[in-house]
Amino acid sequence: MKDFVLHPRLAADCFVLGQFDFSLLLLMNNSLVPWFILVPRTSVQELFELDDNDLATLLVEIKTVSDYVKQNFNVSKLNVAAIGNVVSQLHVHIVGRDPSDYCWPGVVWGAEGKKEYSENQVKEICTALSANLGGKFMKMFP
């Protein structure tokens, strides 16, 4: 989508790591939990508004990122959600959770506590994604 613009709140809170066929992949700037966000490049705001092909593509991307998080981070549970009360742009959170994390069993949204990533940490995550996902993921972070 040529006119696609990332919502300013997502741009401010996250690193843009790269893209899949349909979605940008973001990393929330809080290293206390592995928190990724897929942002489909579309103007629709709700999952049910996607056509069948776009929905199928997004589901594959969600599964790809979910598999990556489960295999590469010390998590016992994944939270996957498309809420959008604050940011109306369609986006899907994929958050790795574990009873040892900082706000378990509560939600990560609005939880007190934050530890920002260093640029090197983000580069390492981006490089690992690229190596693990091969041609499915195009790295954009330097």
- The answer to whether position 55 is within a domain reads yes
Instruction: Report which secondary-structure segment, H or E, holds 24.
Output: strand 23-28
CA distance 46 to 48: 5
Q: Looking at the 3D structure of the chain, how many domains does it have?
A: 1
CA nearest neighbour of 133 among 66, 79, 80: 66
pTM of the predicted protein model:
0.95
- The answer to whether position 40 is within a domain reads yes
Give the pLDDT confidence of 21-40 residue by residue, as tens digits: 999 999 999 999 999 999 99
Query: For residue 121, is pLDDT > 70?
Result: yes
- The answer to whether position 41 is within a domain reads yes
CATH at 29 = 3.30.428.10
- The answer to whether position 1 is within a domain reads no
Cα dihedral across residues 135, 138, 141, 142: positive or negative: positive
Supply the range of the domain harboring residue 71: 8-139
Place of tokens 């579309």: 42
Confidence of residue 135 (pLDDT cuts 50, 70, 90): confident
Contact 33, 99 (CB under 8 A): no
Query: For residue 1, is pLDDT > 70?
Result: no
Give the pLDDT confidence of 74-91 residue by residue, as tens digits: 999 999 999 888 899 999
Average of per-residue pLDDT across 5-21: 97
- The answer to whether position 126 is within a domain reads yes
Average of per-residue pLDDT across 30-58: 97
